[in-house]
Amino acid sequence: MTILRSRFITGEVIENHAWTERLLSLRIRANQMPFRAGQFVRLQLPVDGELVAKSYSLVNAPDEPDIEVFYNRVPDGQFSNRLASLQTGDSIEISQPAHGFFVLDEIPASRHLWMFATGTGLGPYISILKTAEVWERFEKILLIHGAPIVKELAYADQIETWQQSNPDQFWFTSCITREKNPAGLHGRVTELLAKGELEKQVGLTIDKESSHVMLCGNHNMIDDMKASLAERGMSKHLRHKPGHITTEKYF
């Protein structure tokens, strides 16, 4: 994520929801400025007497009043543990305006939009899928979420709502690596793509003629996916050089 100059506003914690011991969603009430779905803000807190700020993608849609971020609690991470300790009514600072180019405005026209996420990389897709634009622009929207265990598949109820309301347009699958996955696939996203299992399940092929691919999350997944897609003639999308892949690296 590119860090740009920002000012900070103070918000109030509304909820700090734990999906698992290490995955949480923080909801904050604040007078946020307009933003585009897929962008990120920086959260700032005092840690050991010093102000520390970290970047997090927004999960809330641009028309929702509360700020929401989906974050990973790292065992030895001072900032993430400080975030996890926040309770309703606590204060936190949020950078404004939001920044980032992982947004639909930067996606060229295509028929099929593939959204690949690992871990908390799911967050910006939830924001994007809450907007009308994504449903109006693409014939097919495919969301693939990789996680080690089934319990870490957050926002399942919201995703199921989209599956039910858009059964011919929206497709979702999970890729679980450390245990059986009764409702999805078992294995790493990159391996399942290489084996053809992902495309076989959905009945569509990722190609440069019909597809644009968004990648968000672990840098290893992103690098491996870019290499695999390059074999199909697909390249990173740049403003001065249109391509087929848009990325947002988290760690």
Find the CATH number of the domain harbouring 76.
Answer: 2.40.30.10
Q: How many domains does the chain have?
A: 2
Residues 191 and 123 placed together within one structural domain of the fold: yes
Tokens of 139: 């014939």
Residues 223 and 112 placed together within one structural domain of the fold: yes
Residues 90 and 110 placed together within one structural domain of the fold: no
Asked if residue 220 belongs to a domain, the reply is: yes
Asked if residue 154 belongs to a domain, the reply is: yes
Residues 20 and 66 placed together within one structural domain of the fold: yes
24 vs 206: CA distance, rounded Å: 32
177 vs 248: CA distance, rounded Å: 22
Residues 60 and 22 placed together within one structural domain of the fold: yes
Q: Residue 194: how many CB atoms within 10 A of its CB?
A: 15
Domain of 176, in residue numbers: 104-249
Residues 54 and 155 placed together within one structural domain of the fold: no
- Closest Cα partner for 65 from 99, 91, 28? 28
Residues 113 and 234 placed together within one structural domain of the fold: yes
The CATH number of residue 112's host domain is 3.40.50.80
Length of the chain: 251
Using DSSP's 3-state secondary structure scheme, residue 115 falls into strand
pLDDT tens per residue, the chain (251 residues)? 444 456 999 999 999 999 999 999 999 999 999 999 999 999 999 999 999 999 999 999 999 999 999 999 999 999 999 999 999 999 999 999 999 999 999 999 999 999 999 999 999 999 999 999 999 999 999 999 999 999 999 999 999 999 999 999 999 999 999 999 999 999 999 999 999 999 999 999 999 999 999 999 999 999 999 999 999 999 999 988 999 999 998 75
Tokens of 189: 């996203």
Residues 215 and 234 placed together within one structural domain of the fold: yes
Asked if residue 177 belongs to a domain, the reply is: yes
Residues 72 and 114 placed together within one structural domain of the fold: no
Asked if residue 1 belongs to a domain, the reply is: no
36 vs 121: CA distance, rounded Å: 17
